[in-house]
Structure 1
């Protein structure tokens, strides 16, 4: 069928947009269509006996019919046959007749496009004929490298006189990207089109040549590998006949010899499993992938120090001596550690072996930097046993502790077994650091493993999944550390005895800095004592204004920073032989002060009370402010408070209201605002009207910092009582304690840190709950108790009597 049988061009005809298929004139090809617009276009063409134009979308799976989403040149042709398929798809047989250009496309009528027929530009027959011969010769070269050009196609090309048809046939076979295919397809200059095709074919020829060379190299390499393998096997066979190759046999003999030496100490299951794996390894081909994995397992098991112990006798005196040498203060912690090892020494002397493993696991609890891990280091040093540190912070995978089964790729034993291998002893000091930060996830619960490890009834048969036999951990001295006991699960807490290590006082920090930190940092920076001079006032200023922490870790960093600058100064100026650092020089070396606890106010104010708070870095002063505003008796609380402190504020307000109702808190009637009517009638007001006619706004400054805890009840109640009674609060008094609705003061925690904070803030008097006064003052440093007047309170009345003026 010819174009002459249809209307003249340009004309508006149905548009079919294909995803991948580039069609060419004079080509009859099946097309599978599923898009609704394409199917409608086919149906319209068949119904009205119209031509269609087939174009190609620029992007794969393009569903939108927008002007720039498809190429503007396609193939004009007719639908010869249509067959319906399942799922709403159709198959059509399309006959291409000519190339066409879409000259107009209306996006509101995406079914049709205005099309005009396009022809090739005039050309020279002689030039085209020469180019066709070159093209066909190039195709023949390519066909020898690739079978995509069969003999029949080459024969067709040679017999065809139409150069445009030859170009179309070759373009349809070449493996081109969409843009490249369209460039060839849309080219109307036949001479240029043939030149472009020659360039594409030459590129493919070069590409196939390179591929062939690479393939030949790979094949030759594979053949060489096979050849080397067979030669090696022959050499091994010859060496075996001659008795030369004994490497593998020597290794197996070495493993068996080591196993025999450890047999007495390993236990039946361990010996049996290791022996079985050695026998399996001896039968295995050394080049097998499993052989290396099995050999790794055998070598690792034989590295476990079965039967190897530190034979140094436990001595309480040496432990105490080492602890005192390495740590200042921490008297209670040192005493408890000495008691722990006194029991072990006695059991060892009396050879009570059965009870040797029944000891308690010590857990040092305290803020960061107070010396928890360094205490374990001192224990290790005193006992002359290796130290193994296992960081548990953030650990969620149970296999990190228990090991991976050997069926997994990259399987390794757990950290406990690796710790024994690194220590090369079966009785090291093992520090379980940050045990309160163990995590739980879909990969298991490491806490369950720790329960087994720390239980004397179970840890003598701890089973590592990688080893696949029990191992004895009962001789290991376990020491754990934690920042917060509350984060440790209850069953795990039951396995341990907690030794609390509290904040250091400024005086303790001074002695630690003078006797430990400064000498250590001087040595670390290559300085001698004669080259740097720091007086007491400078050290105290650094402690108070450049660090805020419970421990001394940041204090060490400050001295490190200071000495780095000193080193640079000495190297920069040859005349400098000694550097003296005073308080005035600190700004030069360390910039401006960073921290400073606000000292007690010199002036007394209404509605500002001083609370005492415990933080992760020690104690702090918590000022609580209250104001009264004309209103209806509502309470507003601000300052980023947690649920506990919000409840404390409500309880405090209720307690103060009760005191006003019972006339326990004296209120001046002049403070109560009168309405106009009450002023006219000179009405006598009820005292309770004061909290009915004022709103209270309670605020804890530093609003961006979250605050929570059950120790601010009496402080809040005092601030509310102050603003409602218009009585000032003593500025040099601080307090801590929780309130009940009946006005009783409940005990709190963290008393030592809170009193140290009051001491640093230069308070003169501190109010604390009666129970804390009776049981916790022994832990407070004497210098703090000497500087403060510590008063026990039982009820809110006691607080008001002491604090209000």
Structure 2
């Protein structure tokens, strides 16, 4: 291994930029160069037989090849091997020798700079030995809690008497952010560096102890559950320690917000029942069958548009105008519809429309194609309301109308409630189409259910 002496520096060196790794001296590392600037800097170093400086990019500027986007310190070293790859990249085996710092810029394409060696100020031997002893002890404690330090590396740390090398070995094994690694890298006061590193290792020990404590709590709660359940509970415990909400809690909070927004538009009994189901869901385990059915029920019920009512003022003239615009002939049906809406308008003017004549039904009878459904379309247009068409032809299952029991998997509300949700109004025009073609069977009598509804 060729070591460059300090008397050769400051010296003008090519600079190679590394996006992912933060290198340290005495490391032999394979590097893959893909951009032209790095390859040009490599070729320049090989031609002049000079060492190179490998510097990391700043976290927010990965991929950039400018002096402003890189740290001003890195590793001086040599290229032991150069291998061109079929995809155009170049693989090199880089051997670091010492730490270097950019003194001044020389060239941008390729990057070249005047580099000087970083000299670390050693503490007194007694103090250095004491700090190293404490650092090794803390590293052993951390190694017992985590997988940062393999046995071979621990042995090297124990046997090495050079404080700077021990620090670099430890820092290269810890998962440091680039900014933190850079701050340790450029620290020239070795005593301060050792003290800071001891503090950082102690923080890592505390973090790993907390993580182990969380794992123990999880194990005590879920002795007989599968791996997936364990991972979910572990995540839940971690989020509780951090004080953050889980996605499930966010969903439940979203249900509560939607319910509160509809509270003043719905009955008190309906509000209490929905609130009771939300509270029940918040206490359930997310993987239970009851939780899935309750959540499915809440997904439907919070979408019911209690707060939305079409409130356009009724005008029999507009109804008549729309009917005449859409239909030629059909005088008797149109007259009957106009009479009905004239009566409703009169009741509205007298202020008693809300007390009587609610839920009235118009029955259109006739052969197919005479305009029964299109008359309903015209009424909806005139009233400025949504139209909900419920096709009853051949319907046998009464649950399609009444709604399924919540205990069933895949339970759905009745078609009329689904229509209200789709229309996003509580008072749309509902067309029960082909009502004469409902079929009675072993599943029940749909006509009886329609009467109940």
TM-score by length of 1: 0.34
Equivalent in the alignment of 2:348: 326
Structure 2 CA distance for partners of 1:459 and 1:205, relative to 1, 3 Å: same
The answer to whether the aligner puts 1:174 opposite 2:174 as a matched pair is yes
1:529-582 deviation line (CA, Å, top 9, x unaligned): xxxxxxxxxxxxxxxxxxxxxxxxxxxxxxxxxxxxxxxxxxxxxxxxxxxxxx
Equivalent in the alignment of 1:432: 428
Q: Distance in 2 between matches of 1:403 and 1:48?
A: 87
What pairs up with 1:697-776 in 2 under 5 angstroms? none
1:69-117 deviation line (CA, Å, top 9, x unaligned): 1110111111011111221112111111111110111454443111111
Equivalent in the alignment of 1:207: 207
Query: What is the SS of the residue equivalent to 2:121?
Result: coil
Report how far residue 16 of structure 1 moved.
0.6
Structure 2 CA distance for partners of 1:460 and 1:163, relative to 1, 3 Å: farther
1:743-771 deviation line (CA, Å, top 9, x unaligned): xxxxxxxxxxxxxxxxxxxxxxxxxxxxx
Is the Cα contact below 8 Å between 1:142 and 1:201 reproduced in 2? yes
Query: What is the SS of the residue equivalent to 1:132?
Result: helix
Q: Distance in 2 between matches of 1:126 and 1:186?
A: 24
Structure 2 CA distance for partners of 1:100 and 1:417, relative to 1, 3 Å: closer
Query: What is the SS of the residue equivalent to 2:69?
Result: coil
Q: Distance in 1 between matches of 2:48 and 2:184?
A: 33
Equivalent in the alignment of 1:94: 94
Q: Distance in 1 between matches of 2:401 and 2:37?
A: 63
Report how far residue 44 of structure 1 moved.
1.9
Is the Cα contact below 8 Å between 1:30 and 1:91 reproduced in 2? yes
Report how far residue 23 of structure 1 moved.
1.2
Query: What is the SS of the residue equivalent to 2:428?
Result: strand
Is the Cα contact below 8 Å between 2:99 and 2:117 reproduced in 1? yes
Q: Distance in 1 between matches of 2:131 and 2:26?
A: 22
Query: What is the SS of the residue equivalent to 1:86?
Result: coil
Q: Distance in 2 between matches of 1:6 and 1:133?
A: 29
Structure 2 CA distance for partners of 1:108 and 1:146, relative to 1, 3 Å: closer
Query: What is the SS of the residue equivalent to 2:161?
Result: coil
Equivalent in the alignment of 1:147: 147
Q: Distance in 1 between matches of 2:344 and 2:16?
A: 90
The answer to whether the aligner puts 1:193 opposite 2:193 as a matched pair is yes
Question: Larger Rg: 1 or 2?
Answer: 1
Equivalent in the alignment of 1:26: 26
Structure 2 CA distance for partners of 1:475 and 1:202, relative to 1, 3 Å: closer
Report how far residue 5 of structure 1 moved.
7.4
Q: RMSD across aligned C-alpha pairs, in angstroms? A: 4.9
Report how far residue 159 of structure 1 moved.
1.4
1:167-197 deviation line (CA, Å, top 9, x unaligned): 1111111111111111111111000011111
The answer to whether the aligner puts 1:55 opposite 2:51 as a matched pair is no
Structure 2 CA distance for partners of 1:392 and 1:475, relative to 1, 3 Å: same
Is the Cα contact below 8 Å between 2:402 and 2:449 reproduced in 1? no
Report how far residue 225 of structure 1 moved.
7.2
Structure 2 CA distance for partners of 1:462 and 1:128, relative to 1, 3 Å: farther
Structure 2 CA distance for partners of 1:287 and 1:91, relative to 1, 3 Å: closer
Query: What is the SS of the residue equivalent to 1:68?
Result: helix
Q: Distance in 2 between matches of 1:14 and 1:178?
A: 22
Is the Cα contact below 8 Å between 2:85 and 2:91 reproduced in 1? yes
Q: Distance in 2 between matches of 1:413 and 1:166?
A: 69
Query: What is the SS of the residue equivalent to 2:93?
Result: strand
Q: Distance in 2 between matches of 1:292 and 1:365?
A: 35
Equivalent in the alignment of 1:43: 43
Structure 2 CA distance for partners of 1:322 and 1:65, relative to 1, 3 Å: closer
What pairs up with 1:380-779 in 2 under 5 angstroms? 391=386, 412-413=412-413, 416-417=416-417, 432-433=428-429, 453=431, 458-460=434-436
Query: What is the SS of the residue equivalent to 1:176?
Result: coil
How many residues are aligned here? 320
Report how far residue 391 of structure 1 moved.
4.3
Q: Considering Cα pairs closer than 8 Å and 6+ residues apart, tell me whether 1 or 2 has the greater RCO.
A: 2
Structure 2 CA distance for partners of 1:221 and 1:108, relative to 1, 3 Å: same
Q: Distance in 1 between matches of 2:221 and 2:108?
A: 62
Query: What is the SS of the residue equivalent to 1:93?
Result: strand
Q: What are the ranges of 5 or more consecutive residues in structure 2 without an aligned counterpart? A: 227-286, 302-338, 351-359, 389-399, 421-425
Is the Cα contact below 8 Å between 2:380 and 2:387 reproduced in 1? no
1:364-408 deviation line (CA, Å, top 9, x unaligned): 4788xxxx48xxxxxxxxxxxxxxxx7459xxxxxxx999999xx
Q: Distance in 2 between matches of 1:292 and 1:124?
A: 71
Q: What are the ranges of 5 or more consecutive residues in structure 1 without an aligned counterpart? A: 227-285, 301-316, 329-337, 348-352, 374-389, 394-400, 421-429, 434-449, 477-805
Equivalent in the alignment of 1:73: 73
Q: Distance in 2 between matches of 1:403 and 1:54?
A: 73
The answer to whether the aligner puts 1:132 opposite 2:132 as a matched pair is yes
1:260-310 deviation line (CA, Å, top 9, x unaligned): xxxxxxxxxxxxxxxxxxxxxxxxxx96469948x97xxx9xxxxxxxxxx
Report how far residue 150 of structure 1 moved.
2.1
Is the Cα contact below 8 Å between 1:13 and 1:52 reproduced in 2? yes
Q: Distance in 1 between matches of 2:32 and 2:108?
A: 25
Structure 2 CA distance for partners of 1:149 and 1:431, relative to 1, 3 Å: closer
Is the Cα contact below 8 Å between 1:24 and 1:168 reproduced in 2? yes
Report how far residue 2 of structure 1 moved.
3.3
Is the Cα contact below 8 Å between 2:59 and 2:178 reproduced in 1? no
TM-score by length of 2: 0.58
Equivalent in the alignment of 1:512: none
Structure 2 CA distance for partners of 1:469 and 1:196, relative to 1, 3 Å: farther
Q: Distance in 1 between matches of 2:21 and 2:372?
A: 81
